[in-house]
Amino acid sequence: MSILVDASTKVMVQGITGREGLFHTQQMLDYGTLIVAGVTPGKGGDIIADKIPVYDTCKAALAENPIDCSVIYVPAAFAADAILEAAEAGVPLVICITEGIPVSDMMEVRAHLDNTECRLIGPNCPGVLSPGETKIGIIPGHIAEKGDVGVVSRSGTLTYEVLYALSQKGLGSSTCVGIGGDPINGTNFIDVLDLFQKDRETKKIVMIGEIGGSDEELAADYISKFVDKPVVSFIAGQTAPPGKRMGHAGAIVEGGSGMASDKIQALMSAGALIANHPEEIPELLASKS
Amino acid sequence: MKLHEYQSKRLFSEYGIPIPGGDVASTAAEAVDIASRIGGNVVVKAQVLVGGRGKAGGVKIAEDHIAAGSYADEILGMEISGLTVRKVLIDQAVGIDTEIYLGITNDRLEKRPVIMASASGGIDIEEVAADTPEMIVREHIHPFLGLKSYQMRNMAVSIKLPEHLWKQFNSICQSLYSVYKASDATLAEINPLVVTSEGDLLAVDGKMVLDENALGRQGDLEQLRDSDLETVEENEARRYGLSYVALDGDIGCMVNGAGLAMGTMDIIKYFGGEPANFLDIGGGATAEKVSAALRIILKDGGVKVLLINIFGGITRCDEVAKGVVHAIEEVGVDIPMVVRLVGTNEEEGRELLASAKLATASSLADAAQKAIALAA
C-alpha cells in the first residue's frame, strides 16, 4: 500500500504540450503511470503519445474521463489559474510542479482550496512517486525501489539524492512526497506524516527539511505527539548565511527565525535521528530496526 | 526586491498616504536646492538598504538649507554596513508627538497577509517585538475579504489611538494594504507613523520589499532595483535566471535545485572544506544557462576547484554536460573539476563528458571529499 497515489490512479497532465509537460508525460508513461488526458488551452483535439487526448479545458477533460489526480507543468504566470481550474472541475488531488508562482497568487489559491475537498501538493515540488506503482511529477523513477520507508521532503533534487542513497543500500520507499519549497504551499509535513503514520506498509519515515519558516518545528511537535514510527531527518542549509535567499522563495533565514539549528534541535527533542548529510540516512534507518 | 525609503514613500503617496514634503538628492548642491524649496528645518537621510543608518550617523536634522548641504556632503559617499550611500532624502522636519509602528507582511503559518500595529513605533521596534510581543497587535487579512474597518478599530483601540484619529488611521491602513497588494509586496512598513504636534498622522519613514516572482507583471517597479545590493556576479546570474550567492571558500559549486545546492554546501563543510558559493541552475536548465553559470563561478579568483553535482529530474544531464563542454571550449577551465551526474539522461551526459578532463564521483560524499582534496 502506498499513500496518495497508486497504480490505479488516473492522471491528467495540465500543460501537456509544453516542453516540460511533453517530456515528463513520456517519462511518466514509460514508468507505467496511467495518464488518461491532457489539457492545453488552444490544443484541444490533439493526441499525445498516440493515445492521450488533449482538451482545451479541465472541464472538458473531466466530462469525458474519470480523473483522480492532475499534475501541472504550466508556466508560473498561469499556474495559480491552472490549480483553481482543476479544483473547480472536481479533481480531488492536484500536484503542481511549477516554480516561481507569485506568493499573493498562492495565498488566494490556498484561501479558496481550504473551502473545497481538493488536496494540493506543491507548488515548486517534484511530485509524488510510489515506486513500482506510479510516478506523478518529475522524480526520476529508476532511482527508487519499492520498500517500507515513507519519504517526505521540501526539496526537489535533494529528495532524489536521498531516494538514490536508499536504493544504493538496498532500501526502498512506500511513497515519496515532495511538498515543495515555497513559503505558501498546499500539503505540509504534518499532513504527510499523518498519512505515513496510518499507512501499514510504511515502517519508517524520512523527512527532508530546509531553512526558512517553521514547518519543521511544527512537524517535530506533531512527531512527538502522534508519530511512533522511527523518523530520520536531514535539514539543508546548515551553512547558509542569514539574510540571503537560497534559491527558492522559502529558503531564507530572516529575523532570527528559520535557522537549521533550531529545526534540528526541535526534531532531536521529538526523538528523530538527524543525518549530517543525505548519504548517512540509510545507516540511521538501519539503526532503528 | 527591497525598495529605498524614498521609493517606498513615493508609492505610499500615490496611494494617498500622507508623507512629508521632500525629494531625493545625489549631490550636496541638489540637497541645498531641495532644502531651500522646503524652507525651515529639514531631515537629511541616507538612502541605503540596511537597517541602523540613524545609529551610523546617516540621519541628521538641519536648521536650514546651508546646513542641509553640508550634512548631505558628509553623508553622501559614507559607508553603512558595507553599502555606499549614493542618495540622500531631504524631508521637511516635523514636530513629533507619538511614534506608531504600522506594517503588513505575509504570515507563512496562517497563509495570508497580516497587518501589525504598535504604540511603540520607532527605531527600537525589533526589540519591542522580541521583548514585549504583546505590544504589537495583529490582524490577519483574508485575501478575498480584504482589510475590514472593524480590524482597523481593533488595532486603533489596542494601541490607544485617540478617537479623532481613527478615520485617518483607517484610511492609511487601507491605502497601505492597497499598495501592498497592487505591488505584490511581501513587506510594506511605515515606521514611524507619527502623530505630529499639529495632531495629524504622517508616514515619516517607509520600507517595501517586493516579491521577486511577481516582478514580471509589475511593469516599471523592476526598474527601482538597486544593483548595489548584489555583486556583479549575482546580478549577472539573476539575468540568466540562476540563483548565485557568493561565499568565502575555495570550492566552487554548481548544483541543480536549491535544497541540493544547500546540501552540497553543507557536506563540503562537514568534511572540512569551504564552499565558494551557492549556485542553483534551477529546473530544466539549458546548456546556455549552464555555461553562463560556469563563467560566473570562475570569475571568483578564489575558486581552486569546481564541484558539479547534478541530479537530473526536470533537468537533463545531457543538457548540463553540453553546457560544461561549451564553457570549457569557450572560457577555458584551468582548475580541476569534480563532476557527478545522476538521473534523467545521465548516460548521454556522461558520454558527452567522457572526452573532457575531469574527475568523476560515485556519491555525494565522494564528490565532496575529492573536491576538498583537490583544493588543499
Query: Domain ends where: A95, A121, A147?
Result: A121
One domain, residues A176 and A83? no
Judging contacts by C-beta atoms under 8 Å, the chain A residues touching residue B113 are: 107
Helix (H) or strand (E) holding A236: strand A231-236
One domain, residues A187 and A238? yes
Q: What is the structure's pLDDT at A259?
A: 92
One domain, residues A45 and A89? yes
List the single range of B263-267, B294-298, B340-344 with lowest mean pLDDT: B340-344
Report the residue from A19, A100, A247 with minimal CB separation from B261: A247
Residue of B nearest to A140 (CA): B313
CA distances (Å), origin A178, targets A94, A208, B23, B148: 13, 9, 49, 37
Q: How many domains, chain A? A: 2
Whether the Cβ atoms of residue A69 and residue A11 lie closer than 8 Å to each other:
yes
What the block records as the C-alpha cell of A250 is 522559502
Would the CB atoms of A208 and B259 count as touching at under 8 Å? yes
B309-360 tens-digit pLDDT:
998 877 888 888 888 888 888 877 889 999 999 888 888 988 888 877 788 8
With bands split at pLDDT 50, 70 and 90, how would you rate the model's confidence at B59?
very high
- For chain B, the structural domain boundaries read 1-19+95-229, 21-93, 231-375
Would the CB atoms of A153 and B259 count as touching at under 8 Å? yes
- For residue A19, give how far its alpha carbon lies from the nearest alpha carbon of chain B (Å): 10
Catalytic-labelled residue, pool B6, B71, B101, B180: B101
Tell the burial category of B228 from Cβ atoms under 10 Å away from its Cβ (0-12, 13-18, 19+).
Answer: middle
User: Which of A262-276, B230-244, B287-301 tops mean pLDDT?
Assistant: A262-276
What the block records as the C-alpha cell of A195 is 498519512
Phi, psi at A55, each rounded to 5°: -120, 160
One domain, residues A106 and A20? yes
Q: What is the structure's pLDDT at A31?
A: 96
Interface test with B, best of A25, A95, A104, A115 (most B CBs within 10 A): A104
Whether the Cβ atoms of residue B3 and residue B207 lie closer than 8 Å to each other:
yes
- C-alpha closest to that of B195 among B91, B116, B105, B122: B122
- Per-residue pLDDT at B90 exceeds 90: yes
Q: Domain B1-19+95-229: what homologous superfamily?
A: ATP-grasp fold, B domain (3.30.470.20)
The C-alpha atoms of residue B166 and residue A183 are separated, in whole angstroms, by 34
Quote the percentage of chain B above a pLDDT of 70. 100
**A248 in catalytic set:** yes
- Three-state DSSP at A76 gives helix
List the single range of A15-24, A262-271, B50-59, B179-188 with lowest mean pLDDT: B50-59
Q: What is the structure's pLDDT at A249?
A: 65
DSSP bridge partners of B254: B308
Would the CB atoms of B255 and A157 count as touching at under 8 Å? yes
Q: What is the structure's pLDDT at B118?
A: 95
Q: What is the structure's pLDDT at A76?
A: 95
Q: What is the structure's pLDDT at A98?
A: 95
Indicate whether A169 belongs to any domain.
Answer: yes
Q: What is the structure's pLDDT at B339?
A: 92
One domain, residues A143 and A32? no
Residue of A nearest to B346 (CA): A140
Owning domain of residue A46 = 10-121
The per-residue pLDDT string of chain A (289 residues; one tens digit each, 9 = 90 and over) reads 689 999 999 999 999 999 999 999 999 999 999 999 999 999 999 999 999 999 999 999 999 999 999 999 999 999 999 999 999 999 999 999 999 999 999 999 999 999 999 999 999 999 999 999 999 999 989 899 999 999 999 998 899 999 999 999 999 999 999 999 999 999 999 999 999 999 999 999 999 999 999 999 999 999 999 999 999 999 999 988 887 877 766 777 776 678 999 999 999 999 999 999 999 999 999 998 6
One domain, residues A172 and A113? no
With bands split at pLDDT 50, 70 and 90, how would you rate the model's confidence at B263?
very high
**B101 in catalytic set:** yes
One domain, residues A202 and A282? yes
Indicate whether A51 belongs to any domain.
Answer: yes
One domain, residues A245 and A276? yes
- Three-state DSSP at B324 gives helix
Indicate whether A208 belongs to any domain.
Answer: yes
- For residue B28, give how far its alpha carbon lies from the nearest alpha carbon of chain A (Å): 32
Judging contacts by C-beta atoms under 8 Å, the chain B residues touching residue A126 are: 313-314
Can you state the angle between helices B232-239 and B287-299, rounded to 10 degrees?
180
Tell the residue number behind the cell numbers 490549480, with chain if given: A83
One domain, residues A161 and A266? yes
Q: Where are the beta strands (DSSP E) in B108-166?
A: 112-118, 136-140
Indicate whether A134 belongs to any domain.
Answer: no
- Name the maximum alpha-carbon separation found in chain B: 78
The C-alpha atoms of residue A106 and residue A95 are separated, in whole angstroms, by 14
**Which CATH number is B21-93's, of 3.30.750.24, 3.40.50.150, 3.40.50.720, 3.30.1490.20?**
3.30.1490.20
Q: What is the structure's pLDDT at B357?
A: 75
Report the residue from B258, B266, B312 with minimal CB separation from A140: B312
- Domain B231-375 class in CATH: alpha beta
Whether the Cβ atoms of residue A182 and residue A206 lie closer than 8 Å to each other:
no
- CATH of residue A270's domain is 3.40.50.261
Judging contacts by C-beta atoms under 8 Å, the chain A residues touching residue B247 are: 241
The C-alpha atoms of residue A234 and residue A21 are separated, in whole angstroms, by 30
